[in-house]
């Protein structure tokens, strides 16, 4: 470990957490992902990062650059995801950086009780994302019936009125679906977290995101979760349900360690 | 990591399958809201800790620095966070609005404005959206 490097921590898992050498995953900036063990039976997944890039004064500007942020976020997630494929792990928030691996091991020991408790709670569970979208245009009839004999102005107004009504109907249906979905999902889940609806380009293809939630689901219920939620919106024009995941339990490992 | 954001943005949004995988193809907005907003917060040696207010400040700065791009990506949480924005309002989908009386009154007034607009056939930017899901910006003129 050279002086010019620091340790970026991706996740904490149980002792003996092993990396899958058959499918190595690169860390932030292509760093090699390693394990660091604590004295009390916990393991951290880390990779060395250049100290100059990750020093306080240089990290913040990187996070303000969305392309750089994307690269770091995707690398972070890829490591968490690879580890989660083999064991329950606690994902750390982005850019948790220590001076060296001795400091990482010390952190594992200091937070031992907290991490153990969380690992017990989350064991055997995955996080599934649930998003509900409203897309009034998708609910529109393929061929707008032209009112016979109406003036162009009147026809326009009638069309606008129909559009508005359809939008209200679609949003109403989406909200109802979101409520039903929350009930169905909650019945299968151990915990629920509400995220903010996503807006803009990334949801544009599906319409407006009216509900964005995460559920902590026992592994044995994952298929049922998908089937039951997929069935909810299947015959509603303009309303779609998206289930994402399984994710490592990001939304349920949260909280600030003491 | 070679597929840069810039390279992708001009194209249409990738249409994820209904049950998107969580792997490298996962939606960036989904990843960011997890790795930035969730996960274990612990004091590292680098005091960028993304802790509490510090986190919010960073988020605000990094997102406001390029609001348009962030919006394109569907990231707008600073607009909803009361500690970050005067435009913040409780999320419509949150299970319990913090101030139900005020929210209800707002909803009622906005619905009323939407009705009046509809009755008068006033052109408005996106009145269909506004009627069903009012946005503060859409309503400013009507409220005066």
Q: Give A100-142 pLDDT, tens digit per residue.
A: 999 999 999 999 999 999 999 999 999 999 999 998 887 777 6
Whether B141 has a pLDDT exceeding 90, the answer reads no
Cα A199 to the center of its chain, rounded Å? 15
3-state secondary structure of A192: strand
ipTM over 0.85: yes
Partners of A202 on chain B (C-beta within 8 Å) are 13, 27-29, 72-74
Cα-Cα-Cα-Cα dihedral of A84, A27, A199, A62, to 10°?
Answer: 150
Helix or strand (DSSP H, E) at A239: strand A239-247
| Residue B35 near residue A76 (C-beta atoms within 8 A) | yes
Q: Where in chain A is the domain with CATH 3.30.70?
A: 125-252
| Residue A257 near residue A116 (C-beta atoms within 8 A) | no
Q: Give B63-84 pLDDT, tens digit per residue.
A: 544 455 555 555 555 555 544 4
Report yes or no: B6 at the A interface, CB cutoff 8 Å: yes
3-state secondary structure of A6: strand
Q: Give A53-68 pLDDT, tens digit per residue.
A: 887 777 777 776 777 8
For chain B, which residues make up each domain, given as ranges? Answer: 26-88, 100-136
- pLDDT for position A226: 95
Whether B99 has a pLDDT exceeding 80, the answer reads no
| Residue A245 near residue A77 (C-beta atoms within 8 A) | no
Q: Comparing C-alpha atoms, which of B24, B60, B56, B36 is closest to residue A69?
A: B36
- pLDDT for position A142: 61
* Architecture of the domain made up of A125-252: 2-Layer Sandwich (3.30)
Task: Select the residue of A93, A202, A230 nearest B39 (Cβ to Cβ).
Answer: A93
Q: Name the more confident of A218 and B1.
A: A218
Chain A / chain B CB contacts < 8 angstroms: 231
- pLDDT for position B26: 75
Which of B 42-101 lie inside 8 A of A, CB atoms? 42-52, 55, 58, 61-62, 65-66, 69-77, 80, 91-95
- pLDDT for position B142: 39
Closest approach of B144 to chain A, Cα-based (Å): 24
What residues in chain A have per-residue pLDDT under 50? 1-2, 258
- pLDDT for position B73: 54
For residue B23, name the pLDDT band (cuts at 50, 70, 90). Answer: low
Token pair recorded at residue A148: 């016979």
B41: DSSP letter: B
Report yes or no: B33 at the A interface, CB cutoff 8 Å: yes
Task: Select the residue of B16, B91, B128 nearest A197 (Cβ to Cβ).
Answer: B91
Partners of B128 on chain A (C-beta within 8 Å) are 136, 163-164, 166-168
- Give CA–CA dist B40/A201, Å, rounded: 29
> What angle, 0 to 180 degrees and rounded to 10, lies between the N-to-C axes of helices A152-188 and A222-232?
160
Partners of A226 on chain B (C-beta within 8 Å) are 19
Token pair recorded at residue B5: 């954001």
- pLDDT for position B8: 34
């Amino acid at each position: 470990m050279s002086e010019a490097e620091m340790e970026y921590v991706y996740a904490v898992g149980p002792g003996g957490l092993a990396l899958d050498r058959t499918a190595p995953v690169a860390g932030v900036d292509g760093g090699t992902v390693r394990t660091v063990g604590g004295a009390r039976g916990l393991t951290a997944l880390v990779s060395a990062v250049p100290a100059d890039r990750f020093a306080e004064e240089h990290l913040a500007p990187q996070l303000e650059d969305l392309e750089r942020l994307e690269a770091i976020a995707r690398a972070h997630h890829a490591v968490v995801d690879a580890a989660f494929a083999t064991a329950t792990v606690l994902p750390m928030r982005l850019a948790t950086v220590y001076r060296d691996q001795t400091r990482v091991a010390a952190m594992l020991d200091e937070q031992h009780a907290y991490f153990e408790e969380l690992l017990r709670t989350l064991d055997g569970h995955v996080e599934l994302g649930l998003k509900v979208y409203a897309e009034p245009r998708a609910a529109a009839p393929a061929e707008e019936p032209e009112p016979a004999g109406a003036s162009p102005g009147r026809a326009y107004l009638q069309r606008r009125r129909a559009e508005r009504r359809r939008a209200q109907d679609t949003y109403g249906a989406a909200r109802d679906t979101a409520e039903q979905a929350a009930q169905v999902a909650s019945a299968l889940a151990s915990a629920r977290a509400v995220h903010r609806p996503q807006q803009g380009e990334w949801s544009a293809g599906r319409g407006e995101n009216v509900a964005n939630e995460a559920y902590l689901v026992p592994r044995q219920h994952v298929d049922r979760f998908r089937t039951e939620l997929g069935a909810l919106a299947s015959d509603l024009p303009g309303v779609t349900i998206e289930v994402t995941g399984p994710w490592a339990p990001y939304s349920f490992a949260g909280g600030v360690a003491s | 990591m070679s597929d840069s954001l810039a390279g992708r943005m001009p194209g249409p949004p990738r249409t994820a399958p209904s049950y998107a995988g969580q792997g490298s193809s996962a939606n960036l907005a989904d990843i960011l809201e997890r790795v930035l907003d969730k996960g274990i917060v612990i004091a590292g040696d680098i005091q960028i800790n993304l802790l509490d207010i510090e986190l919010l400040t960073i988020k605000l700065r990094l997102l406001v620095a390029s609001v348009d791009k962030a919006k394109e990506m569907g990231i707008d949480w600073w607009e909803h966070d009361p500690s970050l924005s005067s435009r913040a309002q409780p999320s419509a989908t949150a299970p319990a609005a913090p101030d139900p009386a005020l929210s209800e009154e707002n909803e009622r007034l906005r619905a009323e404005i939407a009705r009046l607009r509809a009755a008068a056939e006033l052109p408005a930017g996106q009145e269909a959206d506004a009627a069903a899901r009012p946005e503060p910006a859409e309503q400013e003129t009507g409220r005066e």
